Amino acid sequence: MEKILEVENLNVSFNTYAGEVKAVRGVSFELSRGETLAFVGESGCGKTVTAKSILRLLKPPFAVIKPESKIVCNGKDVLKMNKKELCEFRGDEVGMIFQDPMTSLNPTMTVGKQIMESLMIHKKLDKKAAREEAIKMLKLVNIPSPEKRIDNYPHEMSGGMRQRVMIAIALACNPNVLIADEPTTALDVTIQAQIMDLMMELKTEMNTAIILVTHDLGVVANFADRIQVMYAGEVVERGTTKEIFNESKHPYTWALLRSVPRLGSESKEELYALGGTPPDLLLPLNHCPFADRCEYCMPICKERKPPETVLSDTHKVSCWLMHEKAPKVESFYDRRDK
């Protein structure tokens, strides 16, 4: 499959009053046309910062993308683009859906205008054509009576509908890549299900490559092709969805999978809980970032960064447990089912 996005050695830091916070440390990944890649991890792992960096949405001097980073989309070097090229790139080649539909839509513009804005800038459509196209988009995202709704303001719509509008805006110009930053976190469970179903439909219809940023493994299970698990600004494990759910090899991935109680489990039994908290990103970390909280921590883990072990074409892990000299341990996942 053709590669549409390549990110190499992405390093992003924030300059705060307390020092330099290294939010993203050497993240690399690829995305092929039409495929869905999920970034999974908890707050502070760097997944949102990575996603925003692709569109260069973080502003210097507060946020800095380090020079050793490389982002190439559809053959173009994103980090070297000037303002004009960047404007054309955003919305047209890459679209983005944000987490909170309350604050991501302009409250003083009708939703129709917000969709048309993108169309008129990138596709150079005139007002009439843009309005027709906008109605088509609203229909596509299953908003009832689109001809009437197009003139609604965001506050006249519910959370679920606003999120659909966001999807419509992002997909209006048929971009090659769609970045969805926690699109369902702020929504109720039944609405969440509706939105994920919608995204599934659109994915197949428009063949858009999708980057889904989320902390919810359940949402990912039936939606993503590949998953990369992030912790403290680094990718600790990556693989196809099947490999991550059934054959994961990193203790953090096990902890994530184990933390969610399954509906079939015994109630009030102790949930597997990771002790401690993620490391302070102010500090330089020259060893495995998960060492302090890992049940299987070894002395080497606190001294050096683990190399990325290749288990298959798609499955790669960064963990010292993969080293030939390390003891063989049981995955929590297997342990649980006994």
Partner 1 sequence: MMVNHDVTDRMENIPDEKFTIIGIDKDAEAPTRPRVGYWRDAWRRLKENKVAFAALIILLILVFFILFGPAISGYEFEQIDADAINKGPSAEHWFGTDDLGRDLFARVWQAGRVSIIIGILGAVIASVVGSIYGGIAAYFGGAVDDIMMRIVEVLLSIPYLIIVILISVITDSKSLGTMLVALTLTGWCGIARLVRGQMLQLKSQEYVLAANALGVAPIKIILKHMIPNTIGMIIVAITFDIPGYIFSEAFLSYVGLGIQPPSTSWGALASAAQQNFMFYPYQLMFPALMIALTMLSFTLLGDGLRDALDPKLRK
Partner 2 sequence: MGEYIVEAKNLCKYFKAGKNQTLKAVDGVNIRLKKGETLGLVGESGCGKTTCGRTLVKLYDATSGTVLFEGKDVSKLHGKELLAFRKDAQIIFQDPYASLDPRMTIGEIITEGMNVHFHMSEKEKEAKVNELLHKVGLNAEYANRFAHELSGGQRQRVGIARALAVEPKFIVCDEPISALDVSIQAQIVNLLIKLQREMGLTYLFISHDLSMVKHISDRVGVMYLGSMVELASNHALYDHPVHPYTQALISAIPEADMDEEGTKKRVHLEGEVPSPINPPAGCRFKARCKYAKEICGQEMPALKEVEPGHFAACHMCGKEDW
Provide the binding-site residues for partner 2, judged by CB under 8 A.
42-43, 158-161, 188-194, 196-197, 215-219, 221-222, 241-242, 245-246, 255-257, 259-263, 265, 267-268, 270-275, 277
Containing H/E element for 194? Answer: helix 189-206
Decide: is 42 part of the binding site for partner 1 (CB under 8 A): no
Name the one range near partner 1 by CB under 8 A: 31-39, 99-107, 161-169, 306-314: 306-314
Our CA dihedral for 136, 137, 142, 147, rounded to 10 degrees, sits at -50
Contacts with 320 (C-beta within 8 Å, 6 or more apart), sequence order? 288, 298, 300, 301, 306, 326
Mask of contacts with partner 1, 201-240, x by CB under 8 A?
----------------------------------x-----
Where residue 44 falls (left for φ over 0; alpha for ψ -120 to 50; beta otherwise) is left
CB of 105 to partner 1, least distance (A): 23
Residue the block writes with tokens 């509008």: 165
Q: Is 68 helix (H, G, I), strand (E, B) or coil?
A: coil
Question: Which residue in the set 18, 189, 263, 273 belongs to the binding site for partner 1 (CB under 8 A)?
Answer: 18
Q: Taking each helix axis from N to C terminus, what angle separates 127-140 and 159-171, rounded to the nearest 10 degrees?
A: 130
- Decide whether 296 or 333 has the Cβ nearer to partner 1: 296
Tell me whether residue 191 or residue 300 sits nearer to partner 2 (CB atom). Answer: 191
CB atoms near residue 252 (< 10 Å): 24
CB 62, min distance to partner 2, A: 19
Residue choice 20, 151, 303, 334 for contact with partner 1 (CB under 8 A) = 303
Rounded Cα–Cα distance for residues 70 and 80 (Å) = 9
DSSP 293: G
Q: How far is the CB of 260 from partner 2 (least distance, A)?
A: 5
Q: Which stretch binds partner 1 (CB under 8 A): 41-49, 115-123, 175-183, 290-298?
A: 290-298
Q: Within 10 Å of residue 28's Cβ, how many Cβ atoms?
A: 15
Q: Rule CB under 8 A: say whether 3 interacts with partner 1.
A: no
Contacts of 127 (CB under 8 A, 6+ apart): 116, 120
Give residues in contact with partner 1 (CB under 8 A). Answer: 8-9, 16-18, 26, 28, 30, 235, 275-277, 280, 292-300, 303-308, 316, 318, 320, 323, 325-327, 329
